[in-house]
């Protein structure tokens, strides 16, 4: 089977980026969300991203128009069912993902491949509740999707070789670089990255350093392009906490215990850039450390 049509579930910062890269690679894309405003905002963001490429002469105006023409939107999840490939990119909550796959089930074509953009949750467990665990796998894009080259590919225990081969070909067509991860909590990137952010939160929580000193130390001392607390705000502190919880529960190792300060920020609704406050306060337009 050749994949031509792609459904993307979730029009947030990951979903709209995934829709964009598929459309740029020539796929017909149907983007779904439960909120029309989110769909409208996603189209606006894709248009703005492409316009920047036009300004840099990386795309012609006609190419941009063709790409935008390949992205359609819908509030009706069932419309994605007959497509060749579906990429779930909703919230990093297992109950939400399971509900999405259950709602899709009666509408799926026999040939449809299901994938999830989860950054930490068991592929095998998600697949086991569908009617096609052999045609289910993880395809984890990095944020921001149009810029970052890496895609983690994760097979569940039941994923068959044909499904894996087709998805790897898709990733090649997108111009991305695949890495292969076994199906263990948080896979490769977030198994290394998010505990670092959590440890930076502990350093802040224990009063060892301020937000500025922690981020400056890692940028200037380890040559990281972004400090760990700044990066946590960029990812979303709720997502970081969700990943730490998956690691802590899945591996039963105390070294993955979420930092109480990270928990407190999430409880306060201080989720980072998307909410206006996290380890930094963004409400003035200039990031100001909160500690």
Residues marked active site are found at: 119, 140, 152, 190
DSSP state letters, 176-196? -EEEEE-SSTTTTHHHHHHHH
Give the span between the Cα atoms of 262 and 65, in whole angstroms: 43
- Provide the token pair at 180: 């292969």
Q: Which residue has the tokens 């944020």?
A: 143
Write the CB contacts of 36 (distance below 8 Å, at least 6 apart in sequence): 75
Instruction: Judge contact between 109 and 82, C-beta under 8 A.
Output: yes
Give the span between the Cα atoms of 237 and 265, in whole angstroms: 8
| 28-32 vs 71-74, strand pairing mode | parallel
Give the span between the Cα atoms of 31 and 241, in whole angstroms: 27
Give the span between the Cα atoms of 129 and 145, in whole angstroms: 28
Rg of the chain in Å (alpha carbons) = 19
- Provide the token pair at 27: 């796929």
Residue 254 dihedral angles phi and psi, to the nearest 5°: -65, -20
Instruction: Judge contact between 35 and 23, C-beta under 8 A.
Output: no
Instruction: Judge contact between 71 and 3, C-beta under 8 A.
Output: no
């Amino acid at each position: 089977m050749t994949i031509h049509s792609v459904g993307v579930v979730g029009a947030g910062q990951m979903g709209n980026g995934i829709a964009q890269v598929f459309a740029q690679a020539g796929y017909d894309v149907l983007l779904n969300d439960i909120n029309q405003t989110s769909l409208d905002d996603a189209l606006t963001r894709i248009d703005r991203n492409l316009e920047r490429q036009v300004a840099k002469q990386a795309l012609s105006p006609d190419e941009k128009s063709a790409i935008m023409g390949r992205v359609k939107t819908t509030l009706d999840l069932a419309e994605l069912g007959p497509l060749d490939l579906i990429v779930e990119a909703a919230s990093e909550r297992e109950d939400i993902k399971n509900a999405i796959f259950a709602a899709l089930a009666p509408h799926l074509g026999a040939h449809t491949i299901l994938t999830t953009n989860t950054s930490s949750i068991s592929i095998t467990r998600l697949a086991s509740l569908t009617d096609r665990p052999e045609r289910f796998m993880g395809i984890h894009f990095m944020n921001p999707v149009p810029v970052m080259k890496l895609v983690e590919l994760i097979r569940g225990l039941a994923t068959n070789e044909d499904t894996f081969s087709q998805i790897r070909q898709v990733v090649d067509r997108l111009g991305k670089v695949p890495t292969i991860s076994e199906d263990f909590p948080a896979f490769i990137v977030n198994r290394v990255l998010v505990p670092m952010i959590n440890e930076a939160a502990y350093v802040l929580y224990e009063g060892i350093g301020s937000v500025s000193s922690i981020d400056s130390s890692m940028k200037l001392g380890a040559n990281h392009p972004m400090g760990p607390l700044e990066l946590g705000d960029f990812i979303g502190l709720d997502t970081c906490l969700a990943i730490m919880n998956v690691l802590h529960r899945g591996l039963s190792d105390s070294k993955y215990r979420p930092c109480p300060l990270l928990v407190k920020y999430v409880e306060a609704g201080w989720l980072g850039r998307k909410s206006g406050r996290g380890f930094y306060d963004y409400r003035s337009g200039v990031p100001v450390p909160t500690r």
